[in-house]
Amino acid sequence: MAHSMEGKVCLITGATSGIGAATAMELAMLGATTIIVGRNRRKCERISQRIKRKTENEAVEFLAADLSSQQEVRYLAAEFKNRHNHLAVLINNAGAIFAKRQQTADGIEMTFALNHLAYFLLTNLLLDCLKASPSARIVVVASVAHNKGTLRFDDLQGERHYDRLEAYRQSKLANVLFAYELARRLAGTRVSVNALDPGSVATNLGRNNSWLRTRMRNLLVRSMVNPQEGARTVVYLASCPEVEGKTGHYFKNQKEIPSSDGSHDTSVARGLWLVSEELTGVRFPN
């Protein structure tokens, strides 16, 4: 059942394709002021115009930023605040997997920077806007891959050993740990935080890798669900009244499910939080 999002400001990262684009379309259809974030300005322009045409909702905006760059994440947050003073829904969705180890402009391993630190930094920079809403929701798009993830604090950035799947799984575990730790820190506020597994979705994830891996991935796509189906749980957590006030949970197929045992280790979550503060320079407000 659709639930009106009239008057609510929603920001979705990684919204120029896949789950993010499908989520943006659905939220705009529900009447939300929808802000899409993507790295490519032209793609942002195209998808925002397409959403406006299909939904007849003129309250669709975009902000272009490369979220692997902390400077651009800060620019994104500042630009958002220039336009809006409150935020009802923040959907951290942007992510990628990298076949070879790469470093960002900040000198940080790309998978960890884009898939985790961007979520951490952007969320903390926008917390005041989230708290300014009558109620707000933070939705963290994780993955079943977190089940096999391990946080290697002695080699978080894969400097001694890099494996693309290990790096990706680690980043997805970091997503769930971050969501749970943030939920604990926001207890008693009107801001809820939940994570989800969208399922095996046919998206652009992995297309930045070699042609052979891409070809193998494309063969697997046939057994995957489409982005619209993958977006259902994201939209559910962003809009459904029955999850109002629920926080610190993990969902799949619009139902709460258990996450991995490792994702509930509070000491690991606190350690990740401290490392993330050091690497981004932000501090959770007291």
> pLDDT digit string (tens) for 82-106?
999 999 999 999 999 999 999 999 9
Q: What is the DSSP letter of 196?
A: E
Helix (H) or strand (E) holding 238: helix 232-239
54: in domain: yes
Q: Is residue 81 part of a domain?
A: yes
* Per-residue model confidence as pLDDT tens digits over 215-235: 544 544 444 568 888 899 999
Q: Give backbone dihedrals phi and psi of 78, rounded to 5 degrees, phi first.
A: -65, -40
- For residue 57, the domain's CATH number is 3.40.50.720
Q: What is the pLDDT of residue 222?
A: 47
Round to whole Å and give the CA distance between 70 and 86: 22
Residue at 264 is within a domain: yes
Is residue 282 scored above 80 in pLDDT?
A: yes
In a domain, 204, yes or no: yes
User: Residue 79 corresponds to which tokens in the numbers above?
Assistant: 């630009």
- Residues spanned by the domain of 123: 9-279
In a domain, 171, yes or no: yes
Q: Tell me how far apart the alpha carbons of residues 44 and 65 are, in angstroms, rounded to a whole number.
A: 10
Long-range contact pairs involving 278-284 (C-beta distance under 8 Å, separation at least 24): 279/108, 279/117, 280/70, 280/117, 280/120, 280/121, 280/124, 281/70, 282/120, 282/121, 282/124, 282/125, 284/124, 284/185
pLDDT (tens digit per residue) in 7-53: 999 999 999 999 999 999 999 999 999 999 999 999 999 999 999 99
Cα–Cα distance, 62 to 68 (Å, whole number): 18
Residue 277 has pLDDT above 90, yes or no: yes
pLDDT (tens digit per residue) in 139-186? 999 999 999 999 999 999 999 999 999 999 999 999 999 999 999 999
Q: Is residue 4 part of a domain?
A: no
**168, 180, 236, 250: which is the annotated catalytic residue?**
168
Q: What is the pLDDT of residue 101?
A: 97
In a domain, 286, yes or no: no
Residue 114: C-alpha distances to residues 50, 104, 118, 223, 272 (Å): 26, 9, 5, 27, 15
Residues 202-217 have pLDDT tens digits of: 555 545 455 545 554 4
Q: Is residue 1 part of a domain?
A: no
Active site residue 168: yes
Say what the pTM is.
0.92
Q: Is the pLDDT of residue 191 over 50?
A: yes
CA pair distance 67, 214, nearest whole angstrom: 23
Mean pLDDT in residue range 263-272: 98
Q: How many independent structural domains does the chain possess?
A: 1
Q: Give the closest residue to 238 by CA, choosing from 18, 83, 30, 17.
A: 30
